[in-house]
Structure 1
């Protein structure tokens, strides 16, 4: 006869970076190992020894315990409970949602409950209907472990989560830069535009917390503050720590930004000087004596008012200028830095340098920006520069 499996809930705090308080907890299943040590029950739920019915029953048992304990907590914090998307497929009737029944029995305010949808193996149509029912009952919905599955963006569009939790592994990769960093930044931007809150999981160091702030994440969760514990904590326990981290972020960011602004002003002054020189005949050899090395300029070129490139690329490489005529006749009118300049001119705002967002340059593989400036009535000057972080 199989020994009875005993599971119980632990709670990991989720903190707000804005006020430094614990704003919620994630309920996590725990068990005792053979040495009577508390360990995660994650491996148990993934075990092939348990069928879907057994796993679902164990999950509901530990969820009931977590909600019982949370019902006794007298605060405005919320509780996030994990529900497997794959297990949702096992529901025979969409109206029979056990979590809603538990909340009813325990008289818990449903606005204080967040359902975290885990895994990515589920019928999308069924998932959308269940999420709709949760929302109708006042619950919020989070998409957990974003960055681990193949169809995450499809699920974001389908269920429009209130919260996205960035997967711990993706977040840690992102702190080192590269494509993972761009993905996390894109997700936080998506969150801002859609009203979806972003939680960074697995935050263990000051540097990871500061990276999360730089990305714009509103909430953090991880061992930097606390692992999961059997008891809830005072809401302001980490307030002083977070205040210190925010102050550190502000100081570091101001130092970097002041240096960046100084470099930008130097580059812009050089571009205005270049525009003045280009009003008449110019000599590339003369430009070589200017301070382009410190400006991060890699090329410039001219366009007409319809966006057609009218000059060759003038490329700056290893302190020398080279011409490349291959893009003459290309049209850039669809680029934001071009039509934004025309739009500002139409409203009477002239002689301003317009700066594009950062992008990866196809030719050099450098992270770049394009700056545009009105040269004369018929021409527009475009300058590509290396973008700084």
Structure 2
């Protein structure tokens, strides 16, 4: 057994489209005799705690949360639900949570169930989720991205909402490694499958900016409000959120201006490279790297994407040819068809999305321009850390 009075705390979820509080997550807390509040979360992963006691604690807090929310704000309330417990229900029997909602009088449409772990039988869980959804409840998967089997859950349960794993999200928002690209790919997958994204654990404006870049519909964290026993007015953080969202918009505009400046400089570089080719293409005559410090390499392909020149790279204080990639065809690269679409008269400079270069292990973007009446494709690789 555990010590303390169980009670729910509530943390708001902010709608990024409006800045208003759209709903709350109910979190389990215990109050001791001295009035100190502690999280009950660790109990649910402690193998020494009796599962029967845990189930009783969970249902007690869920009832309290539903009763409090019924009498307070509009929007939705999100509660955790254990797949292990769901899989232990008797098939065909009434679902306790649905019975509880009927008893309390809280519309199921105002409820989100968060699937919190990977335990339990997936088929039993799928059947229960179907019944929850038929009643009007929305389904979220928590800690999305934390494990490979999570993708199996997404495919099996077809959730309405995906909640990014907090540790993965924070690592990605910090800009360390390639986790940012990984999380953005997860978010894009969620968007394509019709899911909304929740970014939780947002504590800094940098993390908020990353959440917005991922297309998060809802954000949650100490930057907006800590979990509390009571609810806030719907517009409690709207003004401050609008300011932070405007800051994000300005930062994205600054990025676009930087890219526009890069395009202008690339225009000068491509003009020099065209002249360089016309003069015979001697590596010694390539532009000075001091003018273009972000330039990793340049090379020439035919109109079908097959490389017909060596790579020219600045090493040992001079431009040197690297013939290893002659006759390699790059038409499989996503950027190739971006550039191909611009072939012909009036073709313009195209920039690829950022990627990790396999040769240098650096983050790059590739820029290309068709020349010679679209018979040849001139390409340059750019070190994004030097832009």
TM over 0.5, yes or no? yes
Determine helix, strand or coil for the equivalent of 1:165: strand
Contact 2:115 2:142 in 1 (8 A): yes
Cα distance in 2 for residues equivalent to 1:85 and 1:318: 60
Deviation at 1:78, TM superposition (A): 0.5
Asked if 1:352 is matched to 2:348, the reply is yes
Specify the SS of the correspondent of 1:310.
coil
Q: Rate the CA distance shift 1:123–1:317 in 2: closer, same or farther, 3 A.
A: farther
Within the candidate set 148, 151, 154, 2:152 is matched to 154
CA gap of 1:83–1:333, structure 2 versus 1, over 3 A, is same
Map of 1:375 onto structure 2: 371
Change (3 A) 1:369 1:255: closer
Determine the structure 1 residue equivalent to 2:186: 187
Partner of 1:92: 90
Q: Which moved more, 1:361-370 or 1:348-357?
A: 348-357
2:66 is the counterpart of 1:67: yes
- After TM superposition, the structure 1 = structure 2 runs for residues 175-214 of structure 1, keeping only pairs within 5 Å, are 175-177=173-175, 178-214=177-213
> Could you tell me how far apart the structure 2 residues matched to 1:299 and 1:344 are?
22
Q: Could you tell me how far apart the structure 1 residues matched to 2:336 and 2:206 are?
A: 38
* Distance in 1 (alpha carbons) for counterparts of 2:317 and 2:92: 68
State the Cα distance separating 1:360 from its structure 2 match: 0.6
- The CA RMSD over aligned residues, in Å, is 2.4
- Is 1:288–1:320's contact at 8 Å kept on the other side of the alignment? no
TM-score, normalisation: structure 1 = 0.90
Counterpart Cα distance in 2 of 1:14 and 1:121: 26
Give yes or no for contact 2:276–2:285 (8 Å, CA) kept in 1: no
SS in 1 for 2:68: helix
Aligned residue for 1:232, secondary structure, equals: coil
1:384 equivalent in structure 2: 381
2:360 aligned with 1:364? yes
Per the alignment, residue 306 of structure 1 pairs with 304
Q: Give 1:379 shift.
A: 2.1
* Contact 2:30/2:38 (8 A) holds in 1: yes
Secondary structure at the counterpart of residue 278 of structure 1: helix
In structure 2, list runs of 5 or more residues that go unmatched.
none
Match of 1:237 in 2: 236
Number of residue-to-residue matches in the alignment: 384
What does the per-residue CA deviation read over 1:249-279, in whole Å, with 9 as the maximum and x for residues that have no partner? Answer: 2333333432332123212331243235424
User: In the alignment, is the contact (CA less than 8 A) between 2:300 and 2:307 conserved in 1?
Assistant: yes
Check conservation: 1:9, 1:230, Cα contact below 8 A. Answer: yes
1:27/1:21 CA distance change after superposition, 3 Å: same
Equivalent residue, structure 2, for 1:8: 7
Aligned to 1:287: 286
Structure 1 residue runs without a partner (length 5+): none
Whether 1:263 and 2:262 are equivalent positions in the alignment is yes
Q: Could you say which residue in structure 2 is the equivalent of 1:228?
A: 227
SS in 1 for 2:5: coil
